[in-house]
Structure 1
């Protein structure tokens, strides 16, 4: 087995989920990631915890092929909360989820409406998983390499360079941005003449993502006050959602809600996201990408949202840990990240002070305020 896979498993077990003896852990990934599953089981056994494995793809009810067959066959009105899946995560102490693919477009012929109905039905299951010690990660499968436009070997190098890092050093570097954001009132983001948006983060919590949930990590993120978002955003990187690519997604916000939108490709997918429920047309996250080992767009949001010189905003659910005490949490069955390139003609302003310009932070060499 590739030694990098074993190192990946060590980081998951000992850092990301901090597994303890007698913990019950759900390992959730499809057969194409069996090497990672084996390495995880070795680590879990050494700790003395209790693993249980379920095969799954992007959605948590089975492999991508099986899930496609189910969603195409089931009546939308028959989709309901699965009690057995809910109980699984309610009784688990930890969960490790990997999302490689055998066919990245397997579910491309599942309608956006059916997908949104599924997300609503499984909303509490997702929340139960997120209440455990959880880690979401990637195994470098050939289909994902193909989607990224890379050879399998090059994609393996890309994945492990981004995942198997000195995360203590990452934490220290990113903490400088956390200190800027935590306690701030207003964030203003400008990119060219297509993005100019403001939002309040007053009393919200800014988190340092250094490998405790997502692997790869490499972002600083918080939640906007739900009704505070004003302005327009053009997400100039594609949104790859439910096996369909949305290009040129543009949103206009007033009073925190999306009041107008468009896309140059697959606008119906964007509309399906926005109309899922009451919270899906408001922002639940503002994230700032800081992992410069992720230096190319790969159509995999687990990586792309961490890419240096970017920010991302997520429609839908806010992570509870980012919501301050006594502040409204935006809740939704959706959490869909979308990316803005901040490498040129761009800046981030916090409480009237420019803290990043053209991808360079004020605490880095070369910053020009």
Structure 2
């Protein structure tokens, strides 16, 4: 067993979801090595909890997302019933082809999100379980980063398996400063020049509990305070679609 797998599994079980004895956790494994799923099951068992596994494939999901409404709602009903039995959720999302879901028309993807993802994940899983989600370092992900697969894997595990307790302490001064802040001004490459207020909005430091890797302190703008231009200078892929130079 790759020791990087066992270290990450232990982090997800003991830190991210803080699994307790006799709790149930659903592990959704999207196109990841079987060995990582096995490492997670063993880590769950080690704390006296119970692992449940759903193996997923991006290619198969692309077909399921194109089902008729009745098929989607029945699928959602079944998975919602299972999710309601869980106290925790760990989702590891790999993928052999970042464009796999581009075959699904936009309207059908929206329908699947409304009929399946919303009730199962956004309403039940997010609100009623201790959850953590993360990507898996596939060859396609390494390609997007412009790195060889092995080098990217090493990078991935290093940034995922940091000392999150130390990070939590390091985030405290930033979170405190943000709570005292009113005006924010962001200037960046291209045309990015944005101002807004975060006064009295609140700040949430994130240190490896919901997402891995982690390290953000997030807030949001005061409504109607945003002024300026935000231009993205890095390509990204979402639901199989590539986006560039969004302004």
The two structures share one fold, judged by TM-score above 0.5:
yes
Partner of 1:240: 237
Q: Distance in 2 between matches of 1:17 and 1:78?
A: 32
Partner of 1:126: 121
Partner of 2:13: 13
Q: Distance in 2 between matches of 1:189 and 1:78?
A: 46
Q: Distance in 1 between matches of 2:28 and 2:164?
A: 24
Say yes or no: does 1:157 pair with 2:161.
no
Q: Distance in 2 between matches of 1:221 and 1:106?
A: 31
Kindly provide the CA deviation profile for residues 240-298 of structure 1, in whole angstroms up to 9, marking residues without a partner as x.
11112100001xxxxxxxxxxxxxxxxxxxxxxxxxxxxxxxxxxxxxxxxxxxxxxxx
Partner of 2:83: 89
Partner of 2:95: 101
Question: Are the counterparts in 1 of residues 190 and 233 from structure 2 also a CA contact under 8 Å?
Answer: no
Deviation of the 1:143 alpha carbon: 3.0
Partner of 1:112: 106
Structural RMSD (CA)? 2.1
Partner of 1:276: none
Say yes or no: does 1:27 pair with 2:51.
no
Gaps of 5+ in 2: none
2:205 alignment partner, one of 197, 203, 208:
208
Question: Are the counterparts in 2 of residues 33 and 141 from structure 1 also a CA contact under 8 Å?
Answer: no
Deviation of the 1:195 alpha carbon: 1.8
Q: Compared with structure 1, are the counterparts of its residues 111 and 227 closer, same or farther at alpha carbon in structure 2 (3 Å cutoff)? A: farther
Runs of 4+ in 1 over 4 A off after TM superposition: 75-81
Q: Distance in 2 between matches of 1:66 and 1:218?
A: 33
Say yes or no: does 1:70 pair with 2:64.
yes
Say yes or no: does 1:196 pair with 2:193.
yes
Q: Distance in 2 between matches of 1:246 and 1:180?
A: 33
Deviation of the 1:183 alpha carbon: 4.2
Question: Are the counterparts in 1 of residues 164 and 208 from structure 2 also a CA contact under 8 Å?
Answer: yes
Q: Distance in 2 between matches of 1:143 and 1:238?
A: 14
Give the number of aligned pairs: 243
Q: Compared with structure 1, are the counterparts of its residues 13 and 203 closer, same or farther at alpha carbon in structure 2 (3 Å cutoff)? A: same
Question: Are the counterparts in 2 of residues 104 and 243 from structure 1 also a CA contact under 8 Å?
Answer: yes
Q: Compared with structure 1, are the counterparts of its residues 31 and 235 closer, same or farther at alpha carbon in structure 2 (3 Å cutoff)? A: closer
